[in-house]
Amino acid sequence: MYMIFRKAIYVSFLLSILSCASGNGSERKGDETMPVKGVGTPSFDADSAYSYIQRQADFGPRVPNTVAHERCAAYLENELRRFGASVQRQTAELTAYDGTALKASNIIGVFNKEAKNRVLLMAHWDSRPFSDQDEDRANHNKPILGVDDGASGVGVLLEMARHIGENAPSVGVDIVFFDCEDYGNPSGGDSESWCLGSQYWAQHPHQLNYRAKFGVLLDMVGAKGATFCKEGFSMMYAKGVVEKIWRKASELGYADFFVSRQSGYITDDHLPVNEILGIPSADIINFSESGFPAHWHTQRDDMRNIDKNTLKAVGQTLMAVVYEQ
């Protein structure tokens, strides 16, 4: 009762401010503090996201069972903690398609853990141990740097984490960085060999009975001129989530990135989340009629592909989706 009363006072106070603000239009002309559409959503800083991508790249390829991988895991935990998340590292020994035992770490940052209404944000943080799409066969067994493919999604989510810690949205937010996404069989036709970290997490979520209203996966969200089609599995399992994101992107002026065409079906980390946990989850991935970008799974997946305009389009859109929940 007391709480309801307090809320009523608060609401009437707010209303009185608003009516003052609209009552004297002439004095308020040109006032940049006037409410505008999307108010309440902080401005996503693409320079900041870029720097988080650079930091990951500086470790070198983050291939499971390497020193760079372990160092990057510690970096990601520290960053999430610094932004105010409660951080968990989920470790597991996972078996690659070729029998290699992978020391895997899914890194989870929880914001506002009391909130029942939650949003799940995901990206993979590992680098692929092969450059099997490289034009030079001699490079096929070298790891990729994984800047667009890996670091970009993580960089965007770290910048979001910084804002969420500073200026909490009304929903709770869980950020999950999946490991061992990109250890898939280079011979192809082995879809189970991909997304090992997310398969594990979907079977063993960090919280008993974990639920979120919806999930969004970012994969290859940093390249210049990226095209995000409506991915097949996302449309199949999470059409409402896709439409919500693409509509918001278009409202914000990012329709050149978030195009309204549907693309093929990509086996990605959102798939186990949809199929095993039943949390409707959409994949924002640079994949179109012309396939993946040219640097995909090559030695050229480095910082030179990263464009701050793309980071801004993805980051600001997803920020608006989260803050307007």
Q: Are 161 and 169 in contact (CB under 8 A)?
A: no
Interface residues for ligand AHN in 201-220 (CB under 6 A)? 219
Determine the straight-line distance between the first and last CA of the chain, rounded to whole angstroms.
26
Q: How far is the CB of 121 from ligand AHN (least distance, A)?
A: 17
**Pick from 132, 182, 231, 301: which binds ligand AHN (CB under 6 A)?**
182
Provide the strand spans (E) within 69-136: 86-95, 101-111, 118-124
Q: How far is the CB of 134 from Zn ion (least distance, A)?
A: 13
Q: How far is the CB of 73 from ligand AHN (least distance, A)?
A: 19
Number of H helices, E strands in the chain: 9, 8
Residue 267, binding choice from ligand AHN, Zn ion, none, Cβ under 5 to 8 Å by partner class: ligand AHN
Residue whose beta carbon is closest to ligand AHN: 267
Q: How far is the CB of 183 from Zn ion (least distance, A)?
A: 9
**Pick from 194, 214, 233, 257: which binds ligand AHN (CB under 6 A)?**
194
Rank residues 118 and 128 by Cβ distance to Zn ion and give the closer one. 128
Question: What is the rounded CA–CA span in Å between residue 181 and residue 195?
Answer: 4
Binding residues for ligand AHN, total number by CB under 6 A: 9
Q: How far is the CB of 115 from Zn ion (least distance, A)?
A: 33
If one asks whether residue 267 binds ligand AHN (CB under 6 A), the answer comes out as yes
Q: How far is the CB of 70 from ligand AHN (least distance, A)?
A: 21
**Pick from 126, 132, 179, 268: which binds ligand AHN (CB under 6 A)?**
268
Rank residues 195 and 318 by Cβ distance to ligand AHN and give the closer one. 195
**In 3D, which of 176, 253, 268, 184 has the Cα closest to residue 220?**
268
If one asks whether residue 301 binds ligand AHN (CB under 6 A), the answer comes out as no
Tell me, rounded to whole angstroms, the distance of Cα 218 from its chain centroid: 4
Residue showing tokens 């609209």 = 22
Q: How far is the CB of 88 from Zn ion (least distance, A)?
A: 25
Q: Are 149 and 297 in contact (CB under 8 A)?
A: yes
SS3 assignment for 141-192: CCCCCCHHHHHHHHHHHHHHHHHHHHCCCCCEEEEEEECCCCCCCCCCCCHH
Residue 269, binding choice from Zn ion, ligand AHN, none, Cβ under 5 to 8 Å by partner class: none
Residue at 276: amino acid letter:
I
Residue numbers of the site for Zn ion (CB under 5 A)? 128, 149, 182
Rank residues 153 and 205 by Cβ distance to ligand AHN and give the closer one. 153
Distances from the Cα of 276 to the Cαs of 129, 138, 203, 249, in angstroms? 27, 39, 7, 28
The string of DSSP letters for 33-44 reads TS--TTTTSPPP
Rank residues 97 and 210 by Cβ distance to ligand AHN and give the closer one. 97
If one asks whether residue 149 binds ligand AHN (CB under 6 A), the answer comes out as yes
For ligand AHN, the binding residues (CB under 6 A) are 149, 182, 184, 191, 194, 219, 266-268
